[in-house]
Amino acid sequence: MRVFVPQKHGLHSPKFEYSNSKLRKYRESPERIDKIVKRLSLNHRFMISEIEGKESLSKNGVHFDKMIEIFEKIKVNDYLIPDTFNIKRLEREPNECDAKLGMYLFDTATPFGPNTADVLRNSFMTVKEAVKYIKKTRENVYVALRPPGHHAGYDFFGGYCYINNAAIAAVRLKKAGKVAILDIDYHHGNGTQDIFYYSDVLYVSLHADPATEFPSYWGYADESGEGEGYGYNLNIPLPKGTRKQEYLMALRNALEIISNYSPAFLILSLGLDIYKDDPLGTFEIDRDGLNEIGMLINVLGVPTLILQEGGYALDEIGENAEAFIEPFS
């Protein structure tokens, strides 16, 4: 199985984030991907391909041009965390860099640094290469990339996410056939939902109940899409402490809906923060459970593009990724 990795991902490495009213060590660290790649490189089933190139973010085909223009042009000497946000969505653009970012940022845990834009360009190129590969071969592929993407919407970013990798892949794959997106990150992919809420790209998400977990304002069961997208958005919120059998039951329901949709491609937003010892999750799913989830999804028999999202149990993340992905190899 081919594994694509953005070579420059480690250049985005903030020291801190501000979350839950505290200044904390930044959790979305380069170690996440480094440990996954190190583990997979020991398994003969996986072939690692590092992507060195980068692509202009203006060609993403998903996000609001003005937000992307700020990412491309902003010049900073250190990581910025804005403290003022454009909650009324006014179009006036201030001069200060942190205020520019605050026009589109929705949290205080997503710093923007001197190399962040270059890392995003490299990630964008990596996703494009993975899309080319799966379109040509119809083989499953895993993209071990960071920053993650599913919290980045059309005109907002946050939750460690700046550009939406799943959405970027979906708009490209859609040209070759119907696309479904399955999001199994612990947290709801509010950005992916936002981008496709009015379109016929099927988005199905299993996640922690947003009434008690991030991102709080999106991810409820009654959000089913609008206009041409009505019925194409399915949220399955699960309670804290959800156990493996409860999760698998919900997943089977989700997979039946995806199967009935008959997609040509499946994009899987993989959040390893559903693991039982993840510091940002509460589900009771062990490593064997991750393997079972992977096997169940693979039974669909649809070419699958797996994109790494969350997962913050650093000591276990390599083995967890391997356990989940192995059924697809």
Cite the active site residues.
Answer: 151
Give the C-alpha separation, 154 to 63, whole Å.
5
Give the C-alpha separation, 267 to 21, whole Å.
34
How would you class 83 by CB atoms within 10 Å of its CB: exposed for 0-12, middle for 13-18, buried for 19 or more?
Answer: exposed
Tokens read off for 242: 């959800």
Comparing CA positions, the residue from 261, 254, 215, 218 lying closest to residue 236 is 254
Q: How many residues does the chain have?
A: 329
- First-to-final CA distance of the chain: 5
Q: Is 152 helix (H, G, I), strand (E, B) or coil?
A: coil
Q: What are phi and psi of 166, to 5 degrees?
A: -65, -40
Give, for 102, the enclosing helix (H) or strand (E): helix 97-102
| Residue in the structure block whose two tokens are 């589109």 | 104
Task: Indicate the pairing of strand 2-6 with strand 141-143.
Answer: parallel
